């Protein structure tokens, strides 16, 4: 009765994007801004953008996500959004009493050439007597980049706006990129166990994953305080996860705006804070690299607890290796996530056959080759892919496993193969925000899931079923 | 209420205290975290369920990505509507125009998916860069021989309600284009049901049992060719007055088809919807059949509801949904399971709707238009509600505050209409309100 979409040759070219494997820039910026303490993001554009973005995030985080909109009307579109911007700021301050107001633009406000920085300036001038919150902005037209560009733009902008120079300290800046709330918590545990003083930006581990409340909180607790971000400029070093970040060649952003850089990049240029840029710590190799950097910078040694975690992880690699060796996996999602995940699968003997992203950096292939010594050369790495392209390719190439967010579930279902849900978004399960990916313990959970997915598949498809592995 | 936005005071009233009429139909205040979406959203939700049409969103990626397969609207056949197509505009098109890209996108999609028609949604930025979307649609219509309809739904150009109107305009371009079809006796169109979780199939089955024929459903499990024939029906039954009433009025003027407003939520409203149709067709036989149907359904439903009613008696509910018409039905349905409504609001209600709500509700009930999380949470606290009925965006607010929740929006996966739906509704409310988990949140 239900008809699947037609089966189309994967070589057919479409001008349209079909089931996009990316989201728009203000979504990423809003997530990053949610990681600043007391911050309320305002999306400067039509009401729909903010409402859709909230809905999308709520379905993943299962949390109230308050993001205001400046509610563009036709008038604003013709005469400029200054008045709307002004009212929006005023109302957000009145309702939320925020410490920080973050304005993020949209395709619409960028196209009509609204100057948000100027609006803020005017607002501050008009309200000199009042105790105003701090302001930060991000320029996030989606026709120049995806949600990841928006995310990094917001982080960079917060750093550029707040960081100050001064006498060098011993603390570290950690720029984790777009990871889960549980990943952020794990990073904090690790840094605390190491005895390292740090600034983690952004930190939405609480703001987007709160415990229950006694009474409604207009602004959820948690987040990195501005006072901490101010100290980024005097840190001993920065560690930045991700190698693509916002250095895309196709997004137009870098070409248009030579100043655009990540937060860590900016701190290095401006204040000489050494930047350690590396892949997300997923898998033994990537995590080792991260731990080594921590040891090198601080002169401290990895706490015993993590040695145990590492040992158990490698022990389990031995226990599970046979069930996954040579299995063909499709990995998809944000570029830096795909690279790290592919590296991990490469080191455990899973054959990643397709690594796909809707991102547009044009550097995915090069990074996959560099990071995957086992089979990197054979992996098909695709920028600017969408889910229908992934589907068509997969129908022809018959992979054994999908690894990534919940949006490709429909393809896995059609192909009748398992999907290991991780990354963003997870819209069809509870706890997506709590999935652990990073470090030895995050890798452990991913590894167990991948192996068990393959075992379960075999078990379910066996004529008799069996009780031992 | 100090921290509420002052401009919104007249969009909130408490029955028994405030006599003035509620202000509604206003654009949302800038800076509010409104639960409303935009014009495009309104058009998209109305047209979305047409399953054999191509829906192409002309604009940057977001508007399409966020509306990919978001509704629970089922199709009994083609599933093209569940794909999210967008021209995914880039800097280049923003500067030089996107018409060429739109044209090419349409051609390759139509060649591949062979839809029966196509809707092209113009989003905000298209309105600014000045693409002549209608001209491109006309050209593709000529070249491909299917109707390619421009839906000029730039988000900033009004509210979600305006989006409904624009969608109805698109439908009315199709209606009447099948000039050979003759509808059988006793035939009607169902307007404003979107076949969430198969609800339309349930309704069609009820009508069929009464001997009534369905010409076109707009737009649940919709088909382009059925919509073309819609002008031949003798009656339009319209649900969710917010989105489709305009089209019903237009069809009355243009084709002389009378319409009636109905609701399928709750026993009373559902039964009335069947009786009214029988009355309209002036057929005693049909009325007999309707009575028999209702009787049969109720003999199983009523006893089944008793156990839920016993558990839920005296519990309080807060309602915040898209259309006020639905809110009205919900107040009644809740009453049937023993619950009292203490807060009721909608995104798009009009003055009549709110007056009716005011009449129906008890003193002290808070009535609100276009609310936001801050207000809603405040109201829930003030009134001590045990249950919140709303959409996905309200769910975490309810849970955070430790009260039950029932999803009553476009995205739900449970059928809540009809008799079966009433039972599902009672079950869902019961499962949430009476769960032991709330003990840990007091
Ligand atoms: S207009 Fe741009 S910012 Fe708004 S939803 Fe669409 S893509 Fe995102
Ligand atoms: S407001 Fe405009 S850009 Fe935003 S979602 Fe609506 S149509 Fe798209």
Tell whether ligand 2 has an atom less than 6 A from the beta carbon of residue B346.
no
Residue with CA nearest ligand 2 atom 7: B155
Q: Do A20 and B28 count as a contact with CB atoms less than 8 A apart? A: no
- Check if the beta carbon of residue B153 is closer than 8 Å to that of residue B43: yes
Residues B65 and B168 in one domain: yes
Residue listed under structure tokens 């002309």: B58
Residues A274 and A373 in one domain: no
pLDDT of residue A256: 45
Print the domain residue range for A180: 25-251+258-278
Interface test with B, best of A10, A84, A107 (most B CBs within 10 A): A107
DSSP letter at A24? B
Whole-number Å distance, alpha carbon A17 to ligand 2 midpoint, is 17
Q: Among A33, A29, A27, which Cα is nearest to A60's? A: A27
pLDDT of residue B5: 66
pLDDT of residue A252: 47
Per residue in B102-153, pLDDT (tens digit) is 999 999 999 999 999 999 999 999 989 999 999 999 999 999 999 999 999 9
- Percent of chain B exceeding pLDDT 90 equals 70
pLDDT of residue A395: 97
Ligand 1 pocket: which residues have CB below 6 Å? A 24, 26, 45, 49, 52, 106-108, 142; B 59-63, 124-125
Residues B170 and B43 in one domain: yes
Domain count, chain A: 2
Residues A68 and A211 in one domain: yes
Residues A45 and A144 in one domain: yes
Q: Do A107 and B62 count as a contact with CB atoms less than 8 A apart? A: yes
Q: Do B41 and A91 count as a contact with CB atoms less than 8 A apart? A: no
pLDDT of residue A254: 40
In a domain, A319, yes or no: yes
Q: How many CB atoms lie within 10 A of CB B382?
A: 14
pLDDT band at B401 (very low <50, low <70, confident <90, very high): confident
Per residue in B223-254, pLDDT (tens digit) is 999 999 999 999 999 986 678 999 999 999 99
In a domain, B215, yes or no: yes
Whole-number Å distance, alpha carbon B313 to ligand 1 midpoint, is 45
Structure tokens at A10: 């994967």
Backbone torsions φ then ψ of A125, nearest 5 degrees: -65, -40
DSSP notation for A355-366:
EE-S---S-HHH
Residues B284 and B343 in one domain: no
The secondary element (H helix, E strand) that includes residue A148 is: helix A147-162
**CA distance linking residue B424 with residue B415, whole number of Å:** 7
pLDDT of residue A373: 87
Residue listed under structure tokens 């979307």: B133
Residues A376 and A266 in one domain: no
Residues B266 and B358 in one domain: no
Tell whether ligand 2 has an atom less than 6 A from the beta carbon of residue B60.
no
Which residues does chain A have within 8 Å of residue B374's beta carbon, measured at their own beta carbons?
66, 95, 216, 218
DSSP letter at A207? T
pLDDT score of B410 more than 70: no
Nearest CA in chain B to A96: B3
Q: Among B411, B373, B390, which Cα is nearest to B319's? A: B390
Q: How many CB atoms lie within 10 A of CB A128?
A: 7
Which residues does chain A have within 8 Å of residue B62's beta carbon, measured at their own beta carbons?
23-24, 26-27, 49, 52-53, 107, 142
- Decide: helix, strand or coil at residue A238: strand
Structure tokens at A222: 């948690």
Of A15, A141, A144, the CB nearest to B105: A15
* Mean of the per-residue pLDDT values of chain B: 91
- CB within 8 Å of A214: residues ≥ 6 apart: none
Residues A313 and A244 in one domain: no
CATH code (residue B380): 3.40.50.1980
In a domain, A435, yes or no: yes
In a domain, A16, yes or no: no
Q: Do A5 and B80 count as a contact with CB atoms less than 8 A apart? A: yes
Q: Give the residues across from B73 on adjacent strands.
A: B196
Query: CA quadruple A92, A95, A101, A103: dihedral positive or negative?
Result: negative
In a domain, B21, yes or no: no
pLDDT of residue A37: 98
Helix, strand, coil content of chain A in percent (nearest 5)? 50, 15, 40
Residues B115 and B238 in one domain: no
In a domain, A108, yes or no: yes
- Decide: helix, strand or coil at residue A130: coil
Choice between A348 and B22, residue whose per-residue pLDDT is larger: A348
Print the domain residue range for B385: 313-411
Residue listed under structure tokens 């519990």: B315
Tell whether ligand 2 has an atom less than 6 A from the beta carbon of residue B38.
yes
pLDDT score of B92 more than 50: yes
Residues A447 and A355 in one domain: yes
B165-169, B214-218, B438-442: segment of lowest average pLDDT: B438-442
Size of interface A-B (CB pairs under 8 A): 252
In a domain, A403, yes or no: yes
- Check if the beta carbon of residue B257 is closer than 8 Å to that of residue B235: yes
Q: How close does chain B come to A355, measured CA to CA in Å?
A: 20
Helix H segments across B219-314? 224-229, 241-255, 267-280, 284-312
Of A87, A143, A407, the CB nearest to B60: A143
* CB-neighbour burial class of residue A12 (10 A; exposed 0-12, middle 13-18, buried 19+): exposed
Backbone torsions φ then ψ of A240, nearest 5 degrees: -125, 125
Bridge-based pairing state of the strands B340-346 and B366-369: parallel
Structure tokens at A316: 């389990």
In a domain, B5, yes or no: no
Of A13, A111, A388, the CB nearest to B128: A111
Q: How close does chain A come to B351, measured CA to CA in Å?
A: 23
Residues A105 and A173 in one domain: yes
Domain count, chain B: 3
Helix, strand, coil content of chain B in percent (nearest 5)? 50, 15, 35
Interface test with A, best of B52, B65, B77 (most A CBs within 10 A): B65
pLDDT of residue A87: 95
Q: Do A91 and B31 count as a contact with CB atoms less than 8 A apart? A: yes
Which residues does chain A have within 8 Å of residue B347's beta carbon, measured at their own beta carbons?
none
- Check if the beta carbon of residue A138 is closer than 8 Å to that of residue A155: no
Helix H segments across B130-240? 133-144, 160-174, 199-210, 224-229
In a domain, A465, yes or no: no
Burial B412-421 (b: 16+ CB within 10 A, else e): bebbbbbbbb
Residue listed under structure tokens 């092209």: B120
Nearest CA in chain B to A46: B156
Q: Do B61 and A17 count as a contact with CB atoms less than 8 A apart? A: yes
pLDDT of residue B159: 85
Bridge-based pairing state of the strands A134-138 and A198-200: unpaired
Ligand nearest to the CA of A104: 1
Residues B166 and B199 in one domain: no
pLDDT of residue B1: 42
Query: CA quadruple B12, B13, B18, B23: dihedral positive or negative?
Result: positive
In a domain, B22, yes or no: no
Per residue in B337-364, pLDDT (tens digit) is 999 999 999 887 788 888 888 888 888 8
Ligand nearest to the CA of B60: 1
- Check if the beta carbon of residue B26 is closer than 8 Å to that of residue B11: yes
Residues B329 and B278 in one domain: no
Q: Give the end-to-end CA distance of chain B in Å, rounded to a whole number.
A: 24
Residues A177 and A313 in one domain: no
pLDDT score of B17 more than 90: no
Residues B153 and B212 in one domain: no
pLDDT of residue A260: 61
Residues of chain A with pLDDT under 50: 251-257
pTM reported for the whole predicted model? 0.95
Q: Give the residues across from B12 on adjacent strands.
A: B368
- Check if the beta carbon of residue B346 is closer than 8 Å to that of residue B327: yes
Residues A38 and A152 in one domain: yes
**CA distance linking residue A69 with residue A67, whole number of Å:** 7
Bridge-based pairing state of the strands B366-369 and B12-14: antiparallel
Burial A20-42 (b: 16+ CB within 10 A, else e): bbbbbbbbbbbbbbbbbbbbbbb
Ligand nearest to the CA of A146: 1
- Percent of chain B exceeding pLDDT 70 equals 96
**CA distance linking residue B273 with residue B262, whole number of Å:** 5
- Residue length, chain A? 469
The secondary element (H helix, E strand) that includes residue A409 is: helix A409-415
The secondary element (H helix, E strand) that includes residue A183 is: helix A181-194
Backbone torsions φ then ψ of B41, nearest 5 degrees: -60, -45
Q: Do B101 and A15 count as a contact with CB atoms less than 8 A apart? A: yes
DSSP letter at A236? S
Residue with CA nearest ligand 2 atom 4: A49
Residues A347 and A446 in one domain: yes
Residues A84 and A196 in one domain: yes
Residues A238 and A365 in one domain: no
Structure tokens at A385: 């892919």
Residues B239 and B321 in one domain: no
Q: Is the preceding peptide bond at B48 cis, omega within 30 degrees of 0?
A: no
Residue with CA nearest ligand 2 atom 8: B63
CATH code (residue A96): 3.40.50.1980
Q: How close does chain B come to A87, measured CA to CA in Å?
A: 6
DSSP letter at B3? T
Residue listed under structure tokens 């000199």: A128
Residue listed under structure tokens 């994953």: A209
Nearest CA in chain B to A212: B400
In a domain, A180, yes or no: yes
Nearest CA in chain B to A63: B396
The atom number, within ligand 2, closest to the CA of B154 reads: 7
Q: Give the residues across from A332 on adjacent strands.
A: A356
Residue listed under structure tokens 């624009």: B166
Per residue in B173-230, pLDDT (tens digit) is 999 999 999 999 999 999 999 999 999 999 999 999 999 999 999 999 999 999 999 9
DSSP notation for B73-101:
B--SS--GGGS-EE----HHHHHH-SHHH
**CA distance linking residue A78 with residue A58, whole number of Å:** 32
In a domain, B179, yes or no: no
In a domain, A291, yes or no: no
DSSP notation for A305-362:
HHHHHHHHHHHHHHHHHHHHTT-EEEEESSHHHHHHHHHHHHHTT-EEEEEE-S---S
Q: Do A45 and B93 count as a contact with CB atoms less than 8 A apart? A: no
Which residues does chain B have within 8 Å of residue A17's beta carbon, measured at their own beta carbons?
61, 64, 85-88
In a domain, B388, yes or no: yes
Q: How many CB atoms lie within 10 A of CB B95?
A: 10
Q: Is the preceding peptide bond at B97 cis, omega within 30 degrees of 0?
A: no
- Decide: helix, strand or coil at residue B63: helix
**CA distance linking residue A11 with residue B237, whole number of Å:** 47
pLDDT band at B34 (very low <50, low <70, confident <90, very high): confident
pLDDT score of B32 more than 80: no
Of B62, B85, B393, the CB nearest to A23: B62
Helices H / strands E in chain B, number of each:
17, 14
Of B37, B80, B397, the CB nearest to A51: B37
Structure tokens at B404: 């039950």
């Amino acid at each position: 009765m239900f008809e699947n979409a037609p089966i189309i040759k994967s070589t057919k070219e479409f001008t349209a994007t079909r089931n996009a494997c990316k989201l728009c820039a203000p979504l990423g910026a809003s997530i990053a801004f949610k990681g600043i303490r007391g911050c309320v993001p305002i999306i400067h554009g039509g009401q729909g953008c903010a409402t859709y973005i909230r809905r999308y995030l709520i379905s993943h985080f299962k949390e109230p996500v308050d993001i205001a909109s400046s509610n563009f009307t036709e008038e604003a579109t013709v005469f400029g959004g200054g008045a709307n911007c002004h009212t929006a700021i005023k109302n957000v301050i009145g309702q939320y009493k925020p410490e920080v107001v973050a304005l993020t633009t949209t395709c619409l406000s960028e196209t009509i050439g609204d100057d948000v920085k100027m609006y803020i300036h005017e607002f501050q001038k008009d309200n000199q007597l009042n105790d105003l919150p701090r302001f930060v902005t991000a320029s996030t037209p989606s026709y120049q980049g995806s949600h990841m560009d928006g995310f990094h733009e917001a982080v960079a902008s917060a750093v550029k706006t707040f960081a100050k120079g001064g006498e060098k300290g011993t603390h570290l800046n950690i720029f984790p990129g777009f990871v889960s709330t549980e990943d952020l918590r794990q990073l904090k545990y690790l840094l605390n166990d190491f005895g390292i003083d740090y600034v983690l930006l952004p930190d939405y581990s609480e703001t987007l994953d709160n415990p229950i409340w006694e009474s409604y909180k207009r602004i959820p607790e948690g987040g990195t305080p501005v006072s901490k971000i101010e100290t980024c400029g005097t840190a001993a070093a920065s560690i930045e996860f991700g190698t693509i970040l916002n250095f895309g060649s196709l997004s137009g952003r870098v070409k248009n705006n030579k100043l655009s850089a990540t937060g860590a990049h900016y701190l290095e240029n401006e204040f000489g804070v050494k930047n350690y840029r590396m892949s997300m710590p997923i898998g033994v190799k990537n995590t080792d690299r991260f731990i080594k950097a921590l040891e090198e910078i601080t002169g401290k040694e990895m706490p015993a607890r993590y040695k145990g975690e590492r040992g158990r992880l490698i022990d389990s690699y031995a226990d599970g290796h046979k069930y996954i060796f040579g299995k063909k996996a499709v990995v998809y999602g944000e570029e830096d996530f795909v690279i790290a995940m592919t590296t991990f699968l490469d080191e455990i003997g899973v054959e990643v056959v397709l690594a796909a992203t809707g991102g547009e950096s044009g550097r995915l292939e090069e990074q996959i080759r560099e990071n995957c010594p086992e089979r990197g050369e054979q992996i098909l790495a695709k920028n600017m892919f969408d889910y229908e392209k992934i589907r068509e390719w997969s129908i022809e190439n018959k992979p054994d496993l999908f690894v990534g967010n919940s949006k490709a579930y429909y393809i896995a279902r059609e192909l009748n193969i398992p999907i290991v849900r991780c990354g963003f978004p997870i819209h069809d399960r509870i706890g997506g925000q709590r999935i652990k990916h990073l470090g030895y313990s995050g890798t452990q959970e991913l590894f167990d899931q991948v192996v068990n997915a393959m075992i379960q598949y075999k078990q379910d498809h066996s004529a008799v079923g069996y009780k031992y592995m | 209420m100090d921290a509420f936005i002052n401009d919104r005071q007249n969009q909130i009233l408490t029955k028994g205290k405030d006599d003035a009429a509620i202000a509604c139909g206003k654009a949302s205040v800038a800076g509010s975290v409104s639960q409303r979406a935009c014009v495009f959203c309104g058009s998209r939700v109305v047209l979305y369920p047409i399953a054999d049409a191509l829906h192409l969103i002309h604009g940057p990626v977001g508007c399409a990505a966020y509306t990919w397969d978001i509704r629970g609207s089922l199709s009994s056949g083609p599933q093209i509507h569940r794909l999210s197509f967008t021209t995914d505009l880039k800097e280049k098109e923003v500067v030089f125009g996107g018409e060429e890209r739109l044209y090419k996108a349409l051609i390759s999609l139509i060649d591949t998916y062979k839809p029966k028609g196509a809707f092209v949604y113009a989003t905000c930025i298209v309105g600014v860069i000045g693409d002549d979307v209608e001209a491109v649609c006309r050209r593709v219509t000529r070249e491909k021989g299917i109707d390619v309809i421009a839906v000029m739904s730039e988000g900033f150009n009004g509210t979600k309600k305006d989006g409904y109107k624009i969608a109805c305009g698109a439908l009315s371009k199709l209606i009447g284009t099948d000039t050979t079809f003759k509808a059988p006796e006793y035939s009607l169109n169902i307007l404003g049901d979107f076949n969430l979780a198969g609800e339309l199939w349930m309704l069609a089955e009820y009508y069929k049992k009464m001997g009534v024929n369905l010409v076109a459903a707009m737009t649940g499990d919709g088909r382009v060719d059925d919509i073309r024939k819609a002008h031949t029906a003798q009656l339009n039954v319209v649900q969710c007055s917010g989105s489709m009433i305009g089209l019903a009025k237009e069809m009355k003027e243009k084709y002389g088809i009378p319409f009636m407003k109905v609701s399928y939520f709750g026993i009373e409203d559902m039964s009335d919807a069947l009786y009214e149709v029988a009355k309209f067709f002036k057929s005693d036989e049909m009325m007999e059949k309707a009575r028999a149907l209702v009787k049969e359904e109720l003999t199983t439903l009523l006893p089944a509801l008793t156990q839920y009613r016993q558990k839920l008696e005296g519990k309080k509910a807060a309602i915040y949904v898209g259309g006020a018409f639905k809110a009205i039905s919900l107040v009644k349905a809740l009453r049937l399971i023993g619950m009292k409504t203490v807060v009721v609001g909608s995104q798009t209600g009009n003055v009549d709707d709110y007056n009716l709500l005011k009449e129906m509700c008890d003193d002290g009930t808070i009535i609100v238009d276009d609310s936001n999380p801050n207000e809603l949470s405040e109201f829930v606290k003030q009134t001590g509600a045990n249950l919140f009925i709303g959409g996905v965006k309200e769910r975490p607010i309810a849970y955070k505050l430790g009260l039950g929740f029932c999803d009553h929006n476009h995205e739900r996966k449970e059928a809540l209409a009809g008799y079966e739906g009433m039972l599902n509704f009672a079950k869902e409310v019961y499962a949430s309100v009476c769960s032991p988990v709330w003990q840990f949140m007091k």
